[in-house]
Structure 1
Amino acid sequence: VEEILLRRKPDSVLVQGDTNSVLGGALAAAKLHIKVGHVEAGLRSYDKTMPEEINRVLTDHCSDYLFAPTEQAGTILKSEGIPENTVFVTGNTIVDALYQNIEIARRKSTILSTLDIQPSRYFLATAHRQENVDNRERLTSILNGLRSVADFYHQPVVYPVHPHALTRIKEFGLDTAGVVLIDPVDYFDFLILQNYSRLVLTDSGGVQEETCILGVPCVTLRDNTERPETVEVGANMLAGTDSENILECVRLSFERGGRWRNPFGDGTAAEKIVDIITGGSNG
């Protein structure tokens, strides 16, 4: 990254999310005195056992522009001593991407027919986080919970399994009966699987947001979330990895039903970010 920055000499560098590459890019730019903008700033799970949490905090504190997806995220940044004039509540670019691509996905994807499943007659699951898939007990409990959901509702649970998770399932010798394991799918297919699922079970932060935007109920296979807004508006429930609690949260999600507002913006986050870094809203 440093070599590219030295060669290109950009005025600013944008990083999005909480991966290792985000932190690496932010650090490289900051050390070269290039302005850094962090998209999705201010997200906190307050769980430092998660590598992503360390990446978020460090990236935020070496950034010059902090693009918070929600007012709550902006408040968190200011409470950590980050100057108020560097914090901008823009909404989340995930809304932009979803609004721009969902119709394309509906036209192009054939994933439902390929899997021979009907809209609203299946569940979708994802689990990839290290704290879940590298822990035999937690991964076993997740699979048991998914099987319980499939058995209780007599509908399939489709799990596009990450290669690392599949490796762990095989290493641990875990039983996947009752869960439909499929290869990872592309973005369009995954949007369709989310959009038409009855409910999504996941340990992904991005999927928590996407289901909330799509109006699909979500049960999160974690003990905490850096997207508390999804819980507060009623789109999401935290189940942890206990198999009985997973099923109970699914049942409760259906019982409370209802619609919720999308707390992540109107799909113009990218425009706002560009306006800010080019000076349109930054004096």
Structure 2
Amino acid sequence: MKKIVTIVGARPQFIKASVVSKAIQETDGLTEVLIHTGQHFDANMSDVFFEQLGIPRPDYQLNINSVNHGDMTGRMLIEIEKVLLKEQPDWVLVYGDTNSTLAGALAAAKLHIPVAHVEAGLRSFNMQMPEEINRILTDQISSVLFCPTDSAMANLKREGFDDKPIQVLQVGDVMQDSAEFFAQKATQPQGFELDDGFILTTFHRAENTDNPERLAAIITALNHLHTNLAPVVLPLHPRTRKVIAAQGLKLDVHLIDPVGYLEMIWLLQRTGLVLTDSGGVQKEAFFMGKACVTMRDQTEWIELVEVGANELVGADTNNIIEAAMHNLGRTVKDESRLYGGGKTSKEIAKRLNSLI
């Protein structure tokens, strides 16, 4: 039996692992050990995903959170190394661009355990984002890179990966697998009673929340839209809630607690517009056929901008308002099958089985 150690720690990784772990379980000759770093520790941001998505309970729970980036990554590196020395896996599987991703890849690489990186090759070209640092470094020390898009493949080609002893494979995006699989299981958030057509909003990235001017501009836009265009529904990340309070700002929108993935899918199915700074939510909106306005200066998912499904507006109040006004109620279609058509998780499991 060939052993894979999978490392997760944050909401997008739970969602991706839900379908890939299922595919691994269904593949003869593969077994999986799951490490949860604890990067997302709030029950609404972590435990609920395991319960709703049917992800196997973690074999190891590291409970590392609420510290600075360097401290968090270092602690994860130490604890993940202990697990890898004990388990002696054939591969380590990491997802995306979090501190958990980089720590897992570093721990494995230093022990000469091959690393497979799901969602490789994405670039925002903004080195102020910790996620950009994490994804670039993880790609460099991986043995196989599972790329979701043509643009991810092109990024790695420009960076010289054709001349490196690393396998670069385009397999599609596991997020589409998840969205399609769980769409029929979507669940209404408890106590939610608004009519369809609201503006579903998420924002949590440090580039917005840690910059007082950007944060104030976003909140001003949201308050205006809520009063003058359509109800703004905001599942508010605990960290963001604290930052807003510390800045003395007031949100005059429909605030709800963070929701699980099935509730998020339900909201996406009924929203009239998605307004976000999340990478994952940009794609989830697309999979549900909804237009998206992204409150960032760059996006890793440039193909969504190119096909007109997503509009980048930065953190400018007027740009956010204007984009929301002309995108509200607009639907989008996946005419080019941008992300693999929902078969990526099985392809990843098959590839891993053949590579080991």
* Match in the other structure for 2:3: none
The one of 179, 185, 204 aligned to 1:104: 185
> Deviation of residue 256 (structure 1)?
7.3
- How many Å separate the matches in 2 of 1:184 and 1:256? 25
* Match in the other structure for 1:275: 350
Q: Percent identity?
A: 45
> Deviation of residue 122 (structure 1)?
0.7
* Match in the other structure for 2:135: 56
Q: Contact 1:37 / 1:65 at 8 angstroms: preserved in 2?
A: yes
**Given the two structures, how large is their TM-score scaled by the length of structure 2?**
0.74
* Match in the other structure for 2:195: 118
- How many Å separate the matches in 2 of 1:256 and 1:191? 18
Given the superposition, is the C-alpha separation of residues 94 and 189 from structure 1 closer, same or farther in structure 2, using an over 3 Å criterion?
same
> Deviation of residue 89 (structure 1)?
0.5
> Deviation of residue 149 (structure 1)?
1.8
Given the superposition, is the C-alpha separation of residues 148 and 260 from structure 1 closer, same or farther in structure 2, using an over 3 Å criterion?
farther
- How many Å separate the matches in 1 of 2:260 and 2:118? 23
The one of 243, 248, 251 aligned to 2:325: 251
Asked whether 1:168 is paired with 2:243, we answer yes
- Listed as ranges, the matches of 1:32-181 within 5 Å are 32-83=111-162, 86-105=167-186, 109-111=187-189, 114-119=191-196, 121-153=197-229, 155-177=230-252, 179-181=253-255
* Match in the other structure for 2:258: 184
- How many Å separate the matches in 1 of 2:330 and 2:265? 24
What RMSD, in angstroms, separates the aligned Cα atoms of the two structures? 1.7
Runs of 4+ aligned residues of structure 1 deviating over 2 Å after TM superposition are 251-262
Given the superposition, is the C-alpha separation of residues 275 and 243 from structure 1 closer, same or farther in structure 2, using an over 3 Å criterion?
same
3-state secondary structure, aligned to 2:121: coil
Q: Contact 1:234 / 1:260 at 8 angstroms: preserved in 2?
A: no
- How many Å separate the matches in 2 of 1:273 and 1:126? 29
Given the superposition, is the C-alpha separation of residues 26 and 266 from structure 1 closer, same or farther in structure 2, using an over 3 Å criterion?
same
CA-to-aligned-CA distance 1:173-199 (integer Å, 9 cap, x gap):
10212x111111111111111121000
- How many Å separate the matches in 1 of 2:213 and 2:161? 39
Gaps of 5+ in 2: 1-79
3-state secondary structure, aligned to 2:155: helix
Q: Contact 2:293 / 2:312 at 8 angstroms: preserved in 1?
A: yes
Given the superposition, is the C-alpha separation of residues 200 and 151 from structure 1 closer, same or farther in structure 2, using an over 3 Å criterion?
same
Q: Contact 2:290 / 2:331 at 8 angstroms: preserved in 1?
A: no
- How many Å separate the matches in 2 of 1:138 and 1:195? 29
- How many Å separate the matches in 1 of 2:265 and 2:168? 30
Q: Contact 1:211 / 1:217 at 8 angstroms: preserved in 2?
A: yes
- How many Å separate the matches in 1 of 2:108 and 2:264? 33
* Match in the other structure for 1:225: 299
> Deviation of residue 268 (structure 1)?
1.0
Q: Contact 1:219 / 1:238 at 8 angstroms: preserved in 2?
A: yes
> Deviation of residue 57 (structure 1)?
0.3
> Deviation of residue 258 (structure 1)?
5.3
> Deviation of residue 172 (structure 1)?
0.6
> Deviation of residue 135 (structure 1)?
1.6
- How many Å separate the matches in 2 of 1:194 and 1:257? 12
- How many Å separate the matches in 1 of 2:203 and 2:329? 24
Given the superposition, is the C-alpha separation of residues 259 and 275 from structure 1 closer, same or farther in structure 2, using an over 3 Å criterion?
closer
- How many Å separate the matches in 2 of 1:256 and 1:97? 23
Counterpart residue identity of residue 269, structure 1: T
**Given the two structures, how large is their TM-score scaled by the length of structure 1?**
0.92
